Chains A and B, each alone.
Chain A
């Protein structure tokens, strides 16, 4: 979600809440004479509020599963998730008074830091990356269709190349007069340079490098007759589209990859947090 001026009310609300909570924590610490801990009444209150906010943030996932239910706009939930989720960190710190002992509490704090941290990174990525994707991938398509499209592009390029590779006497071949030697050279360049770049899974194949490809196409243009230029241009466009699809795949990974860390850790945090609460209250 883009963090823009529409977030001002949330920012002000969060900062206000944080100020009030910080002030209350200072009072609480002062009154407790250095014995502030999670088991005290104020500590429990901070803990419950912090866990409540984490729970609320986690409900965004449930909200997304019910897109049609009129239970508040998804973007309101998302704003709440961002700001309330962030606010949960100081509340939990106030709950434990900035000290944690024991393996579960330590694990919980590590999880909380990583979860909030990954959330912040995610928010930053989702702020900048959509614009980057829009600008750098004008031929963007639906992500799930990329493998299918790439196969199509390869087949299309093969078909175009076959037009130059096959001799003019073959049925279906283009009627372009090409020197046999030039034809062989084209076949070699296509097979060794262009095609590997097209079928590279990562897009980082040396042959997929735009400079490398450009020089290959330039050499082909010098060699082949002008009547073959439109076919070369088509193949070059296919290479460009392929490159953009690879770029989209990479950007998409950064746009959503952080969720692979954020979501499982959030779930773990919720579960362990609940266990911590039960254990702490019971024992």
Chain B
């Protein structure tokens, strides 16, 4: 035992007790930032400095009590030193930080207030340290970090996750996840320990703003008792009590509707539910309002482009068949993952076929839940068992795969997850696997001295990696996740075996690889030849095909618009208004962009590009409007269609027609040699052109583009 005096009061404590703890037994509170009771003291902030009568002040949290020691915690010397220390820390800290704004309990700012520090004498940091927004659960603000190491000790010594550490030296010192990865991409399990340890707003809980879940609140204890929640941190669940609720649905009740925007996912605990696509499958070109004998005759004679796929991808563990769009989900199934993680519209309507009990959760909870290895294994098992075959067969290239080989692949494919902006493979890497996109969207880019060039966006059913595997064994492009992405990975060995067993797949893949390589070359050549001027800034050079009207020839008779409407049963896909370039009007009509942003996010994969270039919207469009929102040029429109329903209602009367919306865009009248608008122009004013070729040949290339009346 050792006896000492603190602020004039004698105290006896066990040997090894720190001055901080000894003072605490006397009820003396020494301010501190880097120390917590449950963590090993490290004495990095020095705010707890006390005067022991020695030449220098001592950090109370690390200095053991000595026999006969006389300690002053509140002398002028300590007060002055503490004030200076707090000022120095405040100079490196945004005021107010996120935590101070949210809950007014940033320990540093509270301390500064207590010390009456309103003005900082020291200059603020010149170079910003930045933020990390990659985790769905925790917001990292490096600006607010005071390098107290409480998070590091919480992660490594309390939770033993060994994710957090220090990086850099001197002024550039900071905390880092793994080898300085973004938090969302690191091996962090989002246990929340760092967040609860942090004294400032450097690590704060992310709440999903504006989302209020209806349903029964769930106690943390109850959740921890559920199989897939048992490994989740109780701290985290406590902090996110409002982000997960228990929902009970009666038979026949609708759980979610297609096209609606949502932010939650559902995990079925009990009961069964059916998944439907309720949007009519009739193609928009066959359901419009054509009037007049000739138009109806035209409509009858014009064939509808059929979809190539046999199944509709939905945001769930199964696909639904085009012929009978319904599937069943049961206990252990998770659905709404894309909506929850990437805020896409619901891809299908889910209705309870039995009384159901489900957990509805926001993405921070889902993200943690998906890190649960048991749940992952269960979901992966469901996918391999129920959806892998449909998924492979929905890709036309693999339609001929034998059942034996699919069974062989079932256990050999790897299911990989990627967060937003995470790189799947890098240009120049060794090509060791082939990928199929299962959920989400990826961006394929090629590195060039002038910057990255986007080659394609791939969604569900898309595949990549074949060029590297078939060619020199090196990746020719970089692929990164645009949102929450899940991929099916086929190892090189299985890929090559597949090609040996199925020569037609090899032939098709080779043709695709050659075609893609050719397109990429043409894309690069085009980009290199593009002059930088106003014209470029309008994005016209990114178009593959522009509908141009020569205004010196156009008599504004609208024959083009009428032709378009007639070709599509009364719904025009072009508007005779838009940008003007010299004497040309760039009509508002699909440009078949090289970089088709409209394709990103379609929850049912109904918008796609044919091999012959044109962008088409398939029959099963659910009318969510995401493609229309994504098109930067306003060239996709939502049109209401009256759909006649078959059957009778409860009163025995025929069902009334319903109005449904579908997206429409120019399909270049793919069934004909020439688009109808061009064919029907009597004045030789309408032309579909390749902008690079067309404008490259124009004598003057400087006139700026401008929009006609924008009102």
Contact = CB atoms under 8 A, between A and B. Distances in A.
Interface of A: 1-2, 6, 60, 64-70, 73-75, 77-78, 126, 129-131, 133-134, 138-143, 149, 152-153, 156, 241, 245, 252, 255-256
Contacts of B576: 142
Given A141-B577, A152-B711, A69 B298 contact: yes
B553 A64 contact: no
Contacts of A141: 577, 708-709, 711
A140 B552 contact: no
Nearest to A146: B709
Contacts of A133: 551, 556
Nearest to A144: B558
B672 interface: yes
A252 to B, nearest CB: 7
Interface stretch (B82-90, B352-360, B562-570): B562-570
A267 B682 CA distance: 20
A241 B551 contact: no
A6 B580 CA distance: 24
A2 B681 contact: no
Contacts of A255: 555-556
Contacts of A156: 711
B711 A241 contact: yes
B694 interface: no
B566 A67 contact: yes
Given A74-B559, A140-B709, 12 more contacts: A6-B684, A60-B682, A67-B680, A68-B676, A74-B679, A74-B682, A78-B683, A126-B555, A130-B685, A152-B711, A153-B711, A255-B555
Q: A141, A152, A255 — which one has the most chain B CB atoms within 10 A of its CB?
A: A141
Contacts of A65: 294
Nearest to B292: A65
Contact of B682 (A70, A78, A142, A149): A78
Contacts of B630: none
B563 A68 contact: yes
A132 to B, nearest CB: 9
B711 A68 contact: no
B554 interface: yes
A70 B679 contact: yes
Contact of B680 (A6, A68, A126, A140): A68
B552 A70 contact: no
B708 A139 contact: yes
User: Which one of B555, B580, B706 has the greatest number of beta carbons of chain A within 10 Å?
Assistant: B555
Interface residues of B, number: 34
B78 interface: no
B242 interface: no
Contact of A66 (B294, B552, B553): B294
Contacts of B3: none
Contacts of A74: 559, 679-682
14 contacts: A2-B684, A64-B682, A68-B566, A68-B679, A75-B683, A130-B552, A138-B580, A138-B706, A139-B708, A139-B709, A141-B708, A241-B711, A252-B556, A256-B557
B302 interface: yes
B537 interface: no
A70 B676 CA distance: 9
B583 interface: yes
Given A153-B711, A241-B709, A2 B567 contact: no
Interface of B: 294, 298, 302, 551-557, 559, 562-563, 566-567, 575-577, 580, 583, 672, 674, 676, 679-685, 706, 708-709, 711
Contacts of A149: 709, 711
A248 to B, nearest CB: 9
A70 B672 contact: yes
B175 to A, nearest CB: 48
A66 B298 contact: yes
B559 A131 contact: no
A256 B682 contact: no
A252 B556 CA distance: 8
A140 B583 CA distance: 13
A89 B685 CA distance: 28
Contacts of B552: 2, 130-131, 134
Given A67-B563, A68-B566, A73 B556 contact: no
Contacts of A68: 298, 302, 563, 566-567, 676, 679-680
Contacts of A70: 672, 679
Contacts of B555: 1, 126, 129-130, 255-256
Best-surrounded residue of B576, B672, B680, B683 (most CB of chain A within 10 A) = B680
Query: Interface centre among B674, B676, B679, B706, by most A CB within 10 Å?
Result: B679
Contacts of A152: 711
Contacts of B551: 130-131, 133-134
A130 B554 contact: yes
Contacts of B676: 67-68
Nearest to B576: A142
B196 to A, nearest CB: 47
A255 B563 CA distance: 21
A182 B684 CA distance: 55
A64 B577 CA distance: 21
B683 A126 contact: yes
The 3 A-B pairs at the shortest CB distance, nearest first, are namely A67-B563, A67-B680, A78-B682
A152 B709 CA distance: 12
A65 B576 CA distance: 19
Contacts of B672: 70
Among B557, B709, B711, chain A packs the most CB atoms within 10 A around the CB of B709
A81 B694 CA distance: 29
Contacts of B554: 130
B553 A2 contact: yes
Contacts of A131: 551-552, 583
Contacts of B711: 141, 149, 152-153, 156, 241
B708 A134 contact: no
Contacts of B681: 74-75
Nearest to B302: A68
B553 A1 contact: yes
A153 B711 CA distance: 8
Nearest to A73: B679
